[in-house]
Structure 1
């Protein structure tokens, strides 16, 4: 690592810290004087409340272990063993951070508050009838309007928790455990995709950063962690399909992409990441120019067709959501603040190491002739994720709470950390940030 590149990394990280500081100070002023942000600790939807909890010792232990042994263990383990270890460590990290707030406040009560999914389980006693009637309760002036999260998402999100309830996994504890357990697999999906599209060395270097990301603060326990995993596996299976593995993976990828679009309207932007995967696997696509797209589209049609036949109109739901969004705080929150403060939220979500990694990824095209081919391919993948995140930002439909909403995109920025030298230094910064956020704030949703 040359002194110049080290200086550039530190400059990028410092700029990110200044962006967060500006978002805090400007946001505090706007909220104190105008009361238009509707967050108590801008730019995060959180409350200042320094505290310790039962998960504190475990969180510190996991952080120390990942910093001390993560890079070396990731380099030595057999590939399948690495994937299993990554999932287990991500589970330990996410659970311990969630339990810093205690079982009720950190896990079991997260999805039972007035705007969350479990509050409407009783309204789904007749699922087909509820799906047919779903769009009639989205706008605020409708009879019995849905709470914010139910109205803000297609019904597959709520239906997930309805089905958990139906099979006996009732209550906030099981719902929180579902989101954490499934959400922790997102790091495995990203590793699979990076290995397939770039190379195994970069995937191994990225593993500790994916496992111990500050994003785990919001994976445990929010439904967006679950959404992130579904979207991530859609990309991972597509990566397997276009890199010489069985093209049958394309059908599974399509199925999960269709589900992703019915979990969150905004995650249709994952199509941008999918396009990047197709570009990286264009040789395989040219070999199977008909079969691969047909399998993907056939899989992608399953969920939309099922919901459409059940009576839910996705386009009508999105149109009404836009109306609902601007009826409420979304119409009051100032775009001029959130369009850049959202990016400060992303710094807190992904950490300063990711900012430095993105700087290195951005520099790869300038030295394309000398850069390793795998690094060029990784840079394209994270650039697609960044483009999707920026599109969500500019849309104006993500003003605030993006530390949770953008979890699916954030997972695909983290692999940029594989380009960083001295990983233990950067891992220390990542884990300290996560511990500080979880111990100084009570995060919302």
Structure 2
């Protein structure tokens, strides 16, 4: 059996192995389809974009500089040189404020590498929510006919995003249109402002579950994550933020004293129930929700949260949209469309490469390191909060595995899986100090390279 003297070295080797394997996976996912002429996209997609770059839903578009390049580099330099020390020593309130400000600056500066179009272009695409939202003038009728308009056979079928999600996602943009924020740039800014709250919810959850020290270690990786490339202006950033907020409320429900736990648990259920009405895939976040309760060592909030989660789902059903009726119809449309043209034998591992591009390669190293020390979780010498982080990471790993094996995610997971990624990223807090110091630089550099080399479609 390894001694304590050899365990740190072994865990470092695990991190090194994880990083190498992650990079090999990414290179293989990009290179092999080109070298071996694999048909990973539909032929229509390839003819429209001959430089398509699987495993990402985008194509090569190298640019040396853009309007946001200098601000992004400035945020990177300040973030690398100042934020880790600040996160370790600042008061909690100041840390949250700074985390939001830096996360927002990082997201916007990367988006502005492509100019204002980096914020505006995506949401105005014909397949996105905004064009559909502008046409909705009768919300009750929209809900009553929502499921009918999902199949391709319907003469007025929904575009891709509206068809592929429950109606609360579309209603979010209908609301923006109604209050005068229906322009693509304005809506993109709102989405980014909401998405930047994700790190705050994750940090609050960790602190609630007695993992403040690890939350402070994780903060730089959450705030300066490569996911910022895909979070900015992607509606999935809103789903990510709302789900993270629901999980943070659930953690409060698990630890609150007196009768306050009932209110926190009910609030968590309402928010998480709404998340399921934003994206069908958010049901998989149940694995992370269960991990929160395991980490808190309390199942008390579960029945209250479940009952509260049913409220928005049943209310939407009463208005005309039944989740359980819509999902089978969506599945049929999915397999009638692009899913049939995307081979599972590639995307089962290509998806993981896309996740690595979005979350950054250090996440692979952090997951390998966490796996290597899993048997030590009961050792108090590891410090408080280690078990909490490990359990949450495990919940996210389970969610990703189920999403991948279901074959309902073939391509585009660099944004579809955004809600899972913060809970994988916190594994970086478990890395040795030397790894964290240079690993943050790797993550930041990776984000800059991805943004400048690729047109990411989001």
What interval of TM-score do these two structures reach, taking the shorter chain for normalisation? over 0.9
Does 2:388 match 1:382?
no
Paired residue secondary structure (2:270): helix
Aligned partners of 2:40, 2:453: CA distance in 1, in Å?
25
Q: Aligned equivalents of 1:138 and 1:312: distance in 2?
A: 12
Q: Tell me, what secondary structure is at the counterpart of 1:412?
A: helix
Of residues 364-373 and 233-242 in structure 1, the stretch that sits farther from structure 2 once superposed is 364-373
Question: Would you say the 8 A contact 2:208–2:252 is kept in 1?
Answer: yes
Counterpart of 2:375 in structure 1 is: 366
1:7 corresponds, among 3, 7, 13, to: 13
Superposed, 1:160-179 pairs within 5 Å as 160-179=172-191
Q: Is the 8 A contact 2:40 2:343 kept in 1?
A: no
Tell me the equivalent position of 1:60.
73
Match of 2:25? 19
CA RMSD, aligned part only?
1.7
Report the 3-state secondary structure (helix = DSSP H, G, I; strand = E; otherwise coil) of the residue aligned with 2:423: coil
Which range moved further: 215-224 or 121-130? 121-130
In structure 2, stretches of 5+ residues that fail to align are 1-6, 47-51
Residues 1:80 and 1:32: Cα distance change in structure 2 (over 3 Å): same
Structure 2 counterparts to residues 42-441 of structure 1, below 5 A:
42-51=54-63, 52-104=65-117, 106-244=118-256, 246-247=260-261, 248-283=263-298, 285=299, 289=300, 292-370=301-379, 371-420=382-431, 421-422=433-434, 423-441=436-454
Deviation (angstroms), 1:175: 1.3
Residues 211 and 384, structure 2, Cα contact 8 Å, conserved in 1: no
2:455 alignment partner, SS class: strand
Distance 1:2 1:85 in 2: 32
1:30-69 superposed Cα distances (whole Å, 9 cap, x missing partner):
6566754847101111111111211111111111111111
TM-score (norm 1): 0.95
Report if the CA contact (8 A) 1:206-1:417 is conserved: yes
- Are the counterparts in 2 of residues 198 and 378 from structure 1 also a CA contact under 8 Å? no
Aligned-pair CA distance for 1:298: 4.1
Superposed CA deviations along residues 255-291 of structure 1, whole A, max 9, x for unmatched, are 11111000000111111111111122234x4xxx4xx
In 2: Cα distance, 1:164 partner to 1:34 partner:
36
Taking the aligned partners of 1:313 and 1:322, their CA distance within structure 2 comes to 15
* Pairwise CA distance, 1:5: 3.1
Distance 1:59 1:239 in 2: 34
Query: What is the CA–CA distance in structure 1 between the aligned matches of 2:208 and 2:120, rounded to whole Å?
Result: 37
- Of stretches 187-196 and 157-166 in structure 1, the one that deviates more from structure 2 is 187-196
- 8 Å contact kept, 1:272–1:384: yes
The 1-side partners of 2:295 and 2:39 are apart by: 49
* Equivalence for 2:4: none
Work out the number of aligned pairs and report it.
438
Q: What SS does structure 1 have at the residue aligned with 2:145?
A: helix
Moved more, 349-358 or 336-345: 349-358
Contact 1:30 1:36 in 2 (8 A): no
For the residues of structure 1 that align with 2:161 and 2:241, how far apart are their CA atoms? 19
Matched with 2:455 is 442
Query: CA offset at residue 306 of structure 1?
Result: 2.1
Q: Which moved more, 1:163-172 or 1:365-374?
A: 365-374
SS for the counterpart of 2:111 is helix
Distance in 1 of aligned mates of 2:339 and 2:347: 11
Distance 1:23 1:309 in 2: 45
Give distance in 1, aligned partners of 2:420 and 2:137.
Answer: 34
Segments of 5+ residues of structure 1 without an aligned counterpart are: none
Shift of 1:198: 4.4
Change in Cα spacing, 1:315 to 1:96, as seen in structure 2 (3 Å) is same
DSSP-derived class of the 1:397 partner: coil
The TM-score, its normalising length taken from structure 2, stands at: 0.92
| Kept in 2: contact 1:137–1:145 (CA 8 A) | yes
Q: Secondary structure at the match of 1:100?
A: helix
